[in-house]
A and B are shown apart, each in its own frame.
Chain A
Amino acid sequence: MSKQQLSRREFLRLSALAAAGATVAHWGLADAYAASQPMDALTRQAPLAEPVTLDVVHDAPEYDNPYRQIFDLFEDENPGVKINLLSHSEDGQPAYAAKIAGGYCPAMETLSAIYNQTRITAENYQNYVDLSTIDYPYWDLITFDAKNSWTEMYGLPGPRMLSPFLGWVNTWCYHVDLMEKAGLDPRKNVKTWDDLLLWLDEGTKWAKSPDSGVEYFWDQGWLPDWFGTSITMDHIPLAFPDGQRDRQVACWTGQVKFNAPDSPYRHVFEFFKMAYDKGWIPRQFWTREWETDMEATYSAKKAAVQLHGPWIWDKAVATDATAQQLGFPSTPPAEGQTQWMQWISDLEIDSSPSALAFVIRSCNEQSPNYPLVKQLFIWWHSPDIVRLRSEALGAVPAMKIDPPPDIKAPQYLGIVKEIDTPGGLYENVKYEVRPSGESVMAAKRIPGSPGVWDYESGNNAKYWADLMEGKITVQEVLDMAQKNWEISYQLD
């Protein structure tokens, strides 16, 4: 092969051409992108004089279709206004955070668009508009004090987010045909905590039999926040007399130690340790992926049971439209506990565990379109639209709406409508609606600290794994929790 040498001049010429080409291409793309964005203050155009595009960003892509249909109504009512609906899921959150840091200013977004566990705190509240200033007329229709709760918690002007919905519910759910095949009827036979343990045991034995056709009775995967937030940590103790919400909160406020002999949180770890030792949940479940392993097996009917929220019900139906599912409240009372309590996620006051809470970023206040942004926000949270959102997503509104929404979501029909409802199958089961300890203490959290369960960094997988494998004890886990609490919260 003959040797050809590239001279320095040629090399530089080629490099410059390449860089110039890339730059021109970037500018071209940037121009096209900028043209699709809402006008900023520098253009100083009068609202509605020309077509206006407002960006709405949310972090639940599965809601794109219903949201799009609802926002079409706003466009119909407001000619000349276009709603640009954008969404991403958890893996898109960091890119979105960088975009916001770069100056992007959507008209409206979900609080969790940047990060699932975002809370509105003293460090970041100025990023969001004080919603008490936007003349929202429906505060009195919301069934909790959405207008003042955040201010009372943090002592700062607000509120800064709004979600007129009740929390989501985490229950047992199962495939009806598989349960019949197993010869089990939990709705009939599970009334106490011991009944629950027996049901899990018998179900697991059936699942392991050759003719069951399933791989698991109860498949359980791993998510750091699932095993670190109220979802599980405040959930399981509700079966026990010393595990009720007031004692949970007492731990978080420092009145009771997390590692006390009668700590409410002891029950969480003891239950899962027992479940693991008895084979009710998969080996090394902390390595099972949430969607591709756990949810996939349930949707494909390779697992009979899940302890989950509304999404798995929807996914099972999406996989098989004929799937019949039912459920029952997750924590039947143990000995000494008289009232059957059902966990429900916290009302959304400073955080949004459900991707339903929306905020207006404060950069909008400098935009000439700000009146329109406020109008959009008020419209999105008006009773008629909340009804539509409720029916579309299966979320129960925390708003007096007449007529009430006609919810057809699988989980609602399969169990939620039966709980704490006159005439329902579980009318005597009560939702635990008092705020969780983590919510009560949110204003006192030291930024950057691990938090009691150290889930935000995902480090909880280690101690859960060590506990399950017998490398540490329940007491050692609770000792760690107490220590984490002491370095994570400032009581003054």
Chain B
Amino acid sequence: MVAIPLFRTLQQRRVAEDVVLLAPQLLLYVGLTLLPFLVALPMLFTNQTNFQHTHPDYIGFENFTRIFTDPIVSREYVDALRRTVVFTVLNYLMVYVFGLSLALLIYEVGFQSAFFTVVYLPMMASALAVGWMADMLFSQSTGTINLILKELGFQRLVDINQPSGVAIILPILTGWRWAGFNMAIFLSGLLSIPTETIEASIVDGASYWQRLVKIYFPQMVPSFIIATVFCLIGSFGIFDEAIALGALIGNQEARFLAILFFIYAFTGNKLALSVTMALQTFVPLVVVAVLLQRLQRRLEYH
């Protein structure tokens, strides 16, 4: 009897090996992301109110249209969307303020690994802790910053329950927390720039600003796009920080989309509607992410 190898060719063996290596991660992704998504799909067509609703009724596509036909749902969604978009724009700005600035600093000046550690440390803090930190700093009566401002005679305090307060404080804190992550993205982009192009520009007498705009940034477009995609995903999913800012106990200005979906699902007895709205928000974001990825491929500097 002759033993027949399972994988005859080297190519087949390599594919098999790749599959085996990929299997654990794939299992996790399928089991924790795709499978729950598929299991939740039937819920979209029911009136399930919460996890304890044992026998929901089939209602067809009503959940999908409520976002447009129900004035209360529509208004709440639009308000949450507006806040989320504003936060996304400001957070995107912080990506460059913190991330790009630090990357340029490291690239040009050069720092030891201790600096990396310091910059990365905020990422170790949970988002909830960051939100509570904002609460401790900016509560009306007991916030440290506001107490200092009062001592200094300021009448106008920083209020995290006001639109301006949340709009200013939250992006700054989020930008600070993710500074290390964004810095790494931009630093990798800087490090991939051929040094000859930089040296040539210096020889040609280009100023630093000209080098940035004409040499660095065009060759960093892939990094910008990656940072944009991550920022988009993270901003639309902002949740923990908003919880700590009181989104569930009255701070209307912290009601971002993820919070709205959460409230609908867990306290508003609208679980099925919440999941549907999340899907309706998620699909356009996926389209945007795919378009950005294609743009990245087109704009890669060769």
Contact = CB atoms under 8 A, between A and B. Distances in A.
Interface in B143-185: 143, 159, 161-162
Given A23-B28, A222-B249, A459-B76, 11 more contacts: A91-B248, A100-B51, A124-B50, A127-B54, A289-B161, A293-B140, A296-B139, A296-B141, A297-B141, A447-B49, A456-B267
B248 A90 contact: yes
A287 B251 contact: yes
B249 A293 contact: no
B140 A124 contact: no
A458 interface: yes
Contacts of A1: 191
Interface residues of A, number: 52
Interface of B: 14, 17-18, 20-25, 27-28, 47, 49-54, 72, 76, 135-136, 139-143, 159, 161-162, 191, 243, 246, 248-252, 255, 262-264, 266-270, 273
Interface stretch (A13-21, A38-46, A168-176, A335-343): A13-21
A103 to B, nearest CB: 11
A447 B53 contact: yes
A428 interface: no
A293 B28 contact: no
A101 B264 CA distance: 17
Contact of A12 (B22, B28, B53, B262): B22
A8 B14 CA distance: 11
A97 B266 contact: yes
A135 interface: no
B51 A20 contact: no
A456 B51 CA distance: 16
5 contacts: A124-B53, A286-B250, A294-B141, A458-B267, A461-B250
Interface of A: 1, 8-9, 12-13, 15-16, 18-20, 22-23, 90-91, 93-94, 97-98, 100-101, 114-115, 117, 123-124, 126-127, 215, 222-224, 284, 286-290, 292-294, 296-297, 302, 447-448, 450, 456-459, 461-462
Most-contacted residue by chain B among A12, A127, A289 (CB, 10 A): A289
A274 to B, nearest CB: 22
A117 B262 CA distance: 16
Contact of B25 (A15, A94, A290): A15
Contact of A20 (B18, B24, B264): B24
Contacts of A302: 141
A9 B18 contact: yes
Contacts of B269: 447-448, 456
Given A15-B25, A127-B54, A292-B139, A223 B250 contact: yes
A293 B142 CA distance: 6
Nearest to A3: B192
Given A127-B54, A447-B269, A288 B140 contact: yes
A123 B52 CA distance: 7
Contacts of A294: 141
Given A19-B28, A94-B262, A458 B141 contact: no
A211 B14 CA distance: 83
